[in-house]
Structure 1
Amino acid sequence: MDPSLLPEPTEPIGQLGAPYNDLQIGTMVAFGITYFMATFFLACRYFQAIKLVKNIEIDLIILTLCYGLALAYFITMLKLMDYGWARHMPEIFASNWMNLLEFNSKLLPNTLIYLITPAVTKMAMLTILFKINPSFKYRMCVAAVGGCIFAYTLVLTYLTGGPCTPLKGDETIKCLMNVAISQSVLNIASDIAVILLPIPTIVNLHLNFKQKLSVGAILGLGSAVVICSIARLPYSISLGSSEDLSWEEGILGIWSIVEINIGIACGCAMRLKKLVTSYLPKMGWNSSQKKSTPYNSNSWGGTTAMGSKSGNKTFDGTNGTKGGYQLHSVQKGSVDPGSTDTIS
């Protein structure tokens, strides 16, 4: 960007960081609300893990990492505001854009964190989905989705940190725009894949409509982030031709913050069934279902699951030990207090 093309500044040097404009304040409010939601659900997960389940599982560790990355992402965003990020171009003093190296040194970690965090959040969700059905075909599908997410995230991260790095200045703007669009499209595709994965398993459960709806709602909570991914896409596409780039980036940043924090909250909520059944039994989780019959996963490789047993083993091959991901408690309409449920 050529600084000589910028309009005359409307504020003196040193006033770009504070006071903040409406969009910048809105960014802080959006982060505060959604980060509080993520904090609440993460705290519930830890309460459940320590008090009820007595086991801290891998998805909780991954989501805790995402929680820290979300805070780091917001901090880098605050640093960018000191250089005019989320302001209209006429407000930006030309001398600030002349020091591109310092500005871009703040933009690079901001971009890298956003590329990585949603992918890590989806990995946490996939660790949950992987264990709800022991069928080899089903688990291969889950692993394939996880592999695709890892692959495209690795490629986009390499491009952003290497050939398309903001540290090279204006020459990489078009490249960065292409990375942003690609990441948005791939994010939407992977979100949809995560939504679709458990559907065949749920459909084949021999449950009444209310119970199927309950299980589907829990497993589908992670899909809420797809709305944010779709909302971001038009702004990612328009960045390349925008005449008010810094303002458009601010709007894009709000959706990014919401997407990351809601993803963490949804990832935690997917596993709160044990907490709900323990403290909110009137919500219908413990209703009896006398006519339930074992689920047979013929469509996923002929594996008997979801409540079927062989000897003393549950469908996931465990002997009722902690960490097993059973849906049989939902199917039978009761919760075994000595076992860990699928979404517990």
Structure 2
Amino acid sequence: MDQLQQLPPGNAPGLPYNSLQTGTVIAFAVTYGICSFFLLLRYIQAVFLVKKFEPDLFILTLSYGAALVYFITMVKLMHHGWGRHLVELNMTDLVEFNKALLPNTLTYLITPGVTKMAILVVLFRINPSIPYRICVCAIGVAILAYTVVLTSITGGPCSPLKEGTLTCLMNVALAHAVLNIVSDLAVAFVPIPTILSLQLSAKQKLTVTCILGLGSGVVVCSIARLPYVRQMAHDDDTTYTEAILGVWSIVEVNLGIICGAAMRLKPLLTRWLPQLGLFSSRTRSNGKSLGSSSMGLRADPRPVQRNYQLHSVQKGSAGPPSTGDNGRIHIYREFDVTTTEHDARSTGPSDSDSIEKVPTRV
């Protein structure tokens, strides 16, 4: 009884998982389940509708697999004290904990960067402007650079398998947290000027707002992690604090995948939910159509009315009859014709192919 009273509050020594560890499993199950649903929709769209696998779908699949690996390494850490207070653990637990910490840390350093690359692939296509595309590419290069550098440092000189690397690991974690927040903000805000320049309907604005809201959720998770990263540098109960940090990391990673998958679901929505009209109005930027938008901001055809008169041409009223007319009267009837502007991808006749004069000879 005395030993149980000495344990920090919130622990249940007789149970396989305490409340924090159980909450971590639940957080992953819920968010990863939503990820699976959205990614499944993307594959259904790729196989049955668009008939092709787009580059961002491949990248998102890699990120989806990495998120699962990240959780598996986290479960392994739970068996060696992750999510429990340090006073509960013995030296053997701590040694095994450090061995399992390396793959867990490396996986997390890589996964958010891969997800943001998938999102940038989509954002690159929504605006053909050269300055805009240079900006998107610059963000991608920066994310790739800091991910490679921090991963190399963690797997090399700052490896938890080496002694005396705790301070180095804390510096890497803090640097990654700050760079992660900056890159999340950059990815979230880079398309906003383009979106604001579009003339969108209320439903389209709601759709874009929801997608940007998911992106903002990723930023919130990144910011929420930062205080715990800073706390670990001066915290003696690192095994417990790291678990709180891990919950935010799980939600952040999975929200990013959900956001990346949702950005390209326009063909599926317009096919299965046409009554919503989410992508049905014409969108223009400064009077010019943006063409095929990767976020699904397409245009409706607008009818063009042309008026024609009905008249007849009798013999003698329009010059001498041609040879072989035999005194007949020729009547030409012309009708009102409504033509429709077609999308560039349409296989039907364009406006220039419409027949403006339809004569019939009686």
**Range class of TM-score, shorter chain:** 0.7 to 0.9
Over aligned residue pairs, what C-alpha RMSD do you find? Answer: 2.9
Distance in 1, matches of 2:200 and 2:256, equals 28
2:98 is the alignment partner of 1:129 = no
2:245 is the alignment partner of 1:252 = yes
Give the equivalent residue in structure 2 for 1:108.
Answer: 102
Which of 284, 292, 298 pairs up with 1:329?
298
Distance in 1, matches of 2:179 and 2:114, equals 14
Check the 8 A contact 1:195/1:223 in 2, yes or no.
yes
Query: Runs ≥4 in structure 1, deviation > 4 angstroms?
Result: 7-10, 15-18, 286-289, 330-339
Report the CA distance between 1:258 and its aligned residue: 1.0
Distance in 2, matches of 1:42 and 1:254, equals 22
Q: State the SS of the aligned residue for 2:165.
A: helix
1:143–1:124 CA distance, 2 compared to 1 (3 A): same
Give the equivalent residue in structure 1 for 2:113.
Answer: 119
Give the equivalent residue in structure 1 for 2:85.
Answer: 88
Report the CA distance between 1:106 and its aligned residue: 1.1
Aligned residues between the structures:
302
Distance in 2, matches of 1:153 and 1:226, equals 17
Check the 8 A contact 2:264/2:296 in 1, yes or no.
no
TM-score for both structures, normalised by structure 2: 0.76
1:336–1:49 CA distance, 2 compared to 1 (3 A): farther
> What amino acid sits opposite 1:148 in the alignment?
A
Structure 2 alignment gaps of length 5 or more: 303-340, 347-362
> What amino acid sits opposite 2:262 in the alignment?
A
Q: State the SS of the aligned residue for 1:53.
A: coil
Distance in 2, matches of 1:237 and 1:254, equals 16
Which of 295, 312, 328 pairs up with 2:285?
295
Q: Deviations over 1:300-333 (max 9, x none)?
A: xxxx5514xxxxxx6xxxxxxxxx7485615769
5 Å matches for 1:43-58?
43-58=40-55
Give the equivalent residue in structure 2 for 1:306.
Answer: 290
Check the 8 A contact 1:17/1:84 in 2, yes or no.
no
> Percent identity, aligned pairs only?
55
Q: State the SS of the aligned residue for 2:298.
A: helix
Which of 72, 76, 99 pairs up with 2:73?
76
Report the CA distance between 1:212 and its aligned residue: 3.8
Q: State the SS of the aligned residue for 1:168.
A: coil
Report the CA distance between 1:216 and its aligned residue: 4.8
Report the CA distance between 1:283 and its aligned residue: 2.2
Structure 1 alignment gaps of length 5 or more: 1-6, 298-303, 308-313, 315-323, 340-344
Distance in 1, matches of 2:236 and 2:58, equals 42
Give the equivalent residue in structure 2 for 1:224.
Answer: 217
Check the 8 A contact 1:34/1:261 in 2, yes or no.
yes
Report the CA distance between 1:9 and its aligned residue: 8.9
1:150–1:172 CA distance, 2 compared to 1 (3 A): same
Distance in 2, matches of 1:65 and 1:326, equals 21
Report the CA distance between 1:163 and its aligned residue: 1.4
Report the CA distance between 1:133 and its aligned residue: 0.7
1:176–1:236 CA distance, 2 compared to 1 (3 A): same
TM-score for both structures, normalised by structure 1: 0.80
> What amino acid sits opposite 1:165 in the alignment?
S
Check the 8 A contact 2:228/2:245 in 1, yes or no.
yes
Give the equivalent residue in structure 1 for 2:166.
Answer: 173
1:77–1:330 CA distance, 2 compared to 1 (3 A): farther
Report the CA distance between 1:122 and its aligned residue: 0.1
Distance in 2, matches of 1:332 and 1:220, equals 30
Distance in 2, matches of 1:258 and 1:39, equals 14
1:16–1:42 CA distance, 2 compared to 1 (3 A): farther
Report the CA distance between 1:217 and its aligned residue: 3.8
Give the equivalent residue in structure 1 for 2:142.
Answer: 148
Task: Identify which of structures 1 and 2 has the higher relative contact order when contacts are C-alpha pairs closer than 8 Å and 6+ apart.
Answer: 1
Distance in 1, matches of 2:93 and 2:98, equals 11
Distance in 2, matches of 1:337 and 1:20, equals 58
Distance in 1, matches of 2:177 and 2:300, equals 37
2:209 is the alignment partner of 1:206 = no
Give the equivalent residue in structure 2 for 1:24.
Answer: 21
Distance in 1, matches of 2:161 and 2:193, equals 46
Distance in 1, matches of 2:246 and 2:258, equals 18
5 Å matches for 1:227-242?
227-242=220-235
Q: State the SS of the aligned residue for 2:72.
A: helix
Bigger helix share: 1
1:105–1:194 CA distance, 2 compared to 1 (3 A): same
> What amino acid sits opposite 1:92 in the alignment?
L
Q: Deviations over 1:282-308 (max 9, x none)?
A: 32325445xx6x4249xxxxxx5514x
1:208–1:29 CA distance, 2 compared to 1 (3 A): closer
